[in-house]
């Protein structure tokens, strides 16, 4: 009898656990993690991002991209911020690194946060907060960033190459890459909307203009008129020119990316290929017609992306400088 009742108690407790811990997600992150230990942390990050955006609104895009690159390689652990060391190339020095920028914003925010509460707030959390703040300042949606990530001690260029999708990736492979990170095809459709802001180097798309299958051909999924325009901006052999991802709207976070994909003006093959499967195609069309659906889903997917492989509790460390592991 005693045994049975303690078993019952166990059952009841087990059933209650999820309720008790509801505020903390499966990975141990929660909204307002620094409420007691560093109450000004989120404000400091927001003000720092705002001061940079006020000088140059294009800085928001690299901040968003930084969070993506951080999370897809070793989880959101600030590994993207670490410098290479002697004989070891870090993520930021891998080939997909060309776009990476915004490190000065993170370092400035970190210095200000350290001055307020030394050794408390992780670099990985600052990246997650700055990504959101940048999107908001480019007129995009806001979402509640969960915090409590800790910083990793390893960053490897080869892991960046292995985990980040190339802009030439087709839909089935894109879905597989996202699935390996716990993200769905729906997340893929929503997060690709990030390409409504920012810039791109020509090496990420010139193949589509000049030599798509190796026969001197053009990618048939690209609008001929737009291909012509891109050719004038990036002549054959040019791998370094920079063009706006969403021309004319590059610092405005809106649904025009989706309208461009529908018009066959998505700049990457990985954008165009979203039309090739029903789940992603339906969402592309849905988002062209509904800013509120896009904004809502984008926030939900960003929170999911922000929890990939995080270090929490006693794992990892709180770096003193974002580019260096602690001694």
Ligand X SMILES: *[C@@H]1O[C@H](CO)[C@@H](O)[C@H](O)[C@H]1NC(C)=O
Active site residues: 69
Answer whether 147's CB lies under 8 Å from 33's CB.
yes
Taking alpha carbons only, the member of 197, 162, 178, 140 closest to residue 274 is 178
The sign of the dihedral angle between the CA atoms of 204, 64, 318, 108 is positive
- Contacting ligand X (CB under 6 A), which of 31, 32, 57, 93? 93
Give dist(CA 131, CA 66) in Å, integer: 8
Contact flag: residue 87 with ligand X (CB under 6 A):
no
Stretch that binds ligand X, among 74-82, 88-96, 224-232, 277-285 (CB under 6 A): 88-96
Q: Is 150 helix (H, G, I), strand (E, B) or coil?
A: strand
Question: CB of residue 241 vs ligand HEM: minimum separation in angstroms?
Answer: 10
246 is in an annotated binding site: yes
91 annotated among ligand-binding-site residues: yes
Nearer to ligand HEM, 101 or 293 (CB): 101
We find the least distance from the C-beta atom of residue 307 to ligand HEM, in angstroms, to be 13
Looking at beta carbons only, is 18 or 216 nearer to ligand X? Answer: 216
The H or E element spanning position 31 is strand 30-31
Q: Is 165 annotated as a binding residue?
A: yes
Binding mask 46-85 for ligand X (x = CB under 6 A): ----------------------------------------
Closer CB to ligand X, residue 139 or residue 203?
203
Residue 84 interface partner, choices ligand HEM, ligand X, none, CB cut-off 5-8 Å depending on type: none
Contact residues for 206 (Cβ-Cβ < 8 A; gap 6+) = 234, 236, 238, 239
Instruction: Restricting to residues 95-114, name those near ligand X by CB under 6 A.
Output: 95, 97-98
**Which residue intervals of 30-170 are DSSP H helices?**
41-55, 60-72, 103-116, 123-137, 157-163
Residue choice 211, 223, 241, 290 for contact with ligand X (CB under 6 A): 211
Contact 290, 323 (CB under 8 A): no
User: What is the chain's alpha carbon radius of gyration, rounded to the nearest angstrom?
Assistant: 21
Residues 77, 4: Cα–Cα separation, whole Å: 44
Least CB distance to ligand X at residue 292 (A): 37
Is position 151 annotated in a ligand binding site? no
Residues that bind ligand HEM (CB under 6 A): 61-62, 64-65, 68, 98-99, 101, 165, 167, 169, 174, 188, 191-192, 194-195, 197-201, 204, 245, 268, 270
Tokens 């992780």: give the residue: 122
Alpha carbon distance, N-terminus to C-terminus of the chain: 56
Handedness of CA 266, 269, 270, 273 (dihedral sign): positive
The residue count for binding ligand X (CB under 6 A) is 9
**Least distance (Å) between residue 290 CB and ligand HEM:** 19
Tokens at 144, concatenated: 């509640």
Annotated binding residue 195: yes
Q: Residue 68's binding partner, choosing from ligand X, ligand HEM, none, with beta-carbon cut-off 5 to 8 A by kind?
A: ligand HEM
Binding site for heme b, by residue number, is: 195
* Binding residues for ligand X (CB under 6 A): 92-95, 97-98, 211, 214, 216
């Amino acid at each position: 009898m005693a045994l049975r009742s303690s078993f019952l108690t166990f059952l009841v407790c087990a059933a209650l656990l999820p309720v008790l811990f509801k505020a903390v997600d499966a990975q141990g992150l929660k909204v307002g993690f620094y409420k007691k230990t560093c109450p000004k942390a989120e404000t400091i990050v927001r003000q720092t991002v705002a001061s940079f955006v006020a000088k140059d609104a294009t800085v928001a895009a690299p901040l968003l991209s930084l969070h993506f690159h951080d999370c897809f390689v070793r989880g959101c652990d600030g590994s993207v911020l670490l410098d290479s060391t002697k004989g070891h190339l870090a993520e930021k020095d891998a080939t997909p690194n060309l776009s990476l920028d915004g490190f000065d914003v993170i370092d400035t925010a970190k210095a200000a946060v350290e001055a307020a509460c030394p050794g408390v707030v992780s670099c990985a959390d600052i990246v997650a907060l700055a990504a959101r703040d940048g999107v908001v300042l480019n007129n995009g949606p806001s979402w509640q960033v969960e915090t409590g990530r800790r910083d990793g001690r390893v960053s490897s260029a080869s892991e960046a190459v292995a985990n980040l999708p190339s802009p030439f990736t087709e839909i089935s492979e894109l879905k597989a890459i996202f699935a390996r990170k716990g993200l769905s095809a729906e997340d893929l459709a929503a997060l690709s909307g990030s390409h409504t802001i920012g810039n791109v180097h020509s090496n990420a798309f010139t193949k589509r203009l000049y030599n798509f299958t190796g026969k001197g051909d053009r990618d048939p999924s690209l609008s001929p008129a737009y291909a012509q325009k891109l050719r004038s901006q990036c002549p054959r052999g040019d791998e370094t020119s920079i063009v706006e991802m969403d021309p004319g709207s590059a610092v405005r976070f809106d649904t025009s990316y989706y309208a461009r994909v529908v018009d066959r003006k998505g700049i990457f093959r990985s954008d165009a290929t979203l039309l090739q499967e029903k789940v992603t195609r339906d969402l592309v069309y849905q988002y062209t017609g509904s800013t509120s659906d896009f904004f809502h889903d984008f926030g939900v997917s960003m929170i999911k992306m922000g929890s990939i492989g995080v270090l929490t509790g006693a794992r990892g460390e709180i770096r003193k400088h974002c580019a260096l592991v602690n001694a």
